Amino acid sequence: MALERLLKIVEEIYDQMKRGEIPEIKLVTRKKQNIEFDEKSEVWIYGEKKSVRSAKTLRGAYQLLRMVYVIGFLKDLLNQNRSSTLRELYYISENWGIAKFNEQLESDRLIEDLEILTGLQRESFNVRPEEDGATVFGDLKIRERTRRGERIIHCQDDVGEAGYQIPTNVDSLEFLECNADFVIAIETGGMRDRLVENGFDEDYNAIIVHLKGQPARSTRRLLRRLNVELGLPVVVFTDGDPWSYRIYASVAYGSIKSAHLSEYLATPSALFIGIRPSDILKYELPSDKLSDEDVKALNSLLSDPRFNNDFWRKEINLQLEIGKKSEQQALAKYGLNFVTDVYLPERLTELGVLKR
């Protein structure tokens, strides 16, 4: 199916040229102005605005040429049952003459174009990212299918302190048994280690997922599967800065970059329990001054539809007013156990995840 849909794109370009037409393709516009809320799926998706890639311009001609080269490369991958990383694809283009990419951002974006045009994920093309190192730790037993066969893993008993590393293709996992009550997704490795060391997973029956900064799609897919298939509430614990708020938004609502996959990757019911600007004042947390880039990003969030509610407007405006940002680890001001004994239980109870 993947190969058939990819080749159809090339066939359409060929047919246009055969008819004496200048070849072009139409793609959904991937900008904030073209994001809209889908009431049915409760996630943010692309709207109907489209842009045209046409060989009428030199830039457009290069883009179409590169697309044809990439489809040819993917055709070989699929026929040979082989795979490639995004980074490898970028370097392979060095042999494509004038069609080579100038930077990896261009090749990554072209793969996203093909996802949109085919309605498939890049994994269907046998293309994967580099290992992201994100992990899951908790009372969850899974069956993992690999090239060497199947293996059963308990993500608490059969793994090291970091947990089970989330694979690229999360849909190859089968959930066999889970006794957890909720999932907590954590931005930083340091805070993940703190929760594991303090036994938070056992004390509060939680599955701990390390996002490793801006989460990879495989991590977001796992969170959605745990939420939808196992009915586990998902909470997201991040630093208190605009970039971290965007991490939460990508988990809950999907990212602007991959809005075409929001129904597959996003978890709309995910709750934010990260450091709030109001926490900086309430707990008198150690903080840093907002940079010019931070201020610019916060103002941008005020026009982002994913943050268009009273809670976020209030918190963002407060942060702009106090001019400060703070990290998760700042809670250590009150001791290494404060985050697991006080802060998180209070916030989780407030949100109804933990019962009083």
Please determine, for residue 175, whether its predicted confidence score (pLDDT) is greater than 90.
yes
Q: How does strand 135-137 pair with strand 206-210?
A: antiparallel
Please determine, for residue 255, whether its predicted confidence score (pLDDT) is greater than 80.
no
Predicted TM-score (pTM) of this structure = 0.75
Q: What is the pLDDT of residues 11-66, one digit of tens each?
A: 999 999 999 999 999 988 877 787 777 777 777 777 788 888 888 999 999 999 99
173 pairs with which residues across the strands? 144
Q: What SS3 state is found at 316? A: helix
Average pLDDT value for residue range 141-165: 88
**What mean pLDDT value characterizes the chain?**
90
Bigger pLDDT: 100 vs 233: 233
- Cα(307)–Cα(23) distance, rounded to whole angstroms? 39
Average pLDDT value for residue range 329-340: 88
The pLDDT value given to residue 356: 64
- Cα(76)–Cα(3) distance, rounded to whole angstroms? 10
Average pLDDT value for residue range 210-236: 94
Average pLDDT value for residue range 133-160: 89
- Answer whether 54's CB lies under 8 Å from 23's CB: yes
- Answer whether 244's CB lies under 8 Å from 238's CB: yes
Please determine, for residue 88, whether its predicted confidence score (pLDDT) is greater than 90.
no
The pLDDT value given to residue 72: 94
Average pLDDT value for residue range 116-124: 90
Q: Residue 209: in which H helix or E strand, if any?
A: strand 206-210
Bigger pLDDT: 261 vs 75: 75
Supply the Cα-derived Rg of the chain in whole angstroms: 22
Average pLDDT value for residue range 189-207: 92
Range with lowest mean pLDDT among 29-38, 147-156, 182-191, 310-319: 29-38
Please determine, for residue 130, whether its predicted confidence score (pLDDT) is greater than 70.
no
Nearest CA to 245 out of 293, 315, 178 is that of: 315
- Answer whether 69's CB lies under 8 Å from 90's CB: no
Bigger pLDDT: 190 vs 283: 283
How would residue 344 be classed by pLDDT, with cut points 50, 70 and 90? very high
The pLDDT value given to residue 190: 82
The pLDDT value given to residue 87: 83
How would residue 199 be classed by pLDDT, with cut points 50, 70 and 90? very high
The set of catalytic residues is 91
For residue 330 the two structure tokens come to 């700042």
The pLDDT value given to residue 286: 86
The DSSP 8-state label assigned to residue 270 in this structure reads -
Please determine, for residue 330, whether its predicted confidence score (pLDDT) is greater than 70.
yes
Average pLDDT value for residue range 276-303: 95
Please determine, for residue 240, whether its predicted confidence score (pLDDT) is greater than 90.
yes
The pLDDT value given to residue 132: 54
- Cα(16)–Cα(13) distance, rounded to whole angstroms? 5
Average pLDDT value for residue range 69-75: 94
Q: Residue 220: in which H helix or E strand, if any?
A: helix 217-230
The pLDDT value given to residue 247: 95
The pLDDT value given to residue 34: 78
Range with lowest mean pLDDT among 95-109, 117-131, 213-227, 262-276: 117-131
Q: What is the pLDDT of residues 291-324, one digit of tens each?
A: 999 999 999 999 988 898 999 999 999 999 999 9
Please determine, for residue 131, whether its predicted confidence score (pLDDT) is greater than 60.
no
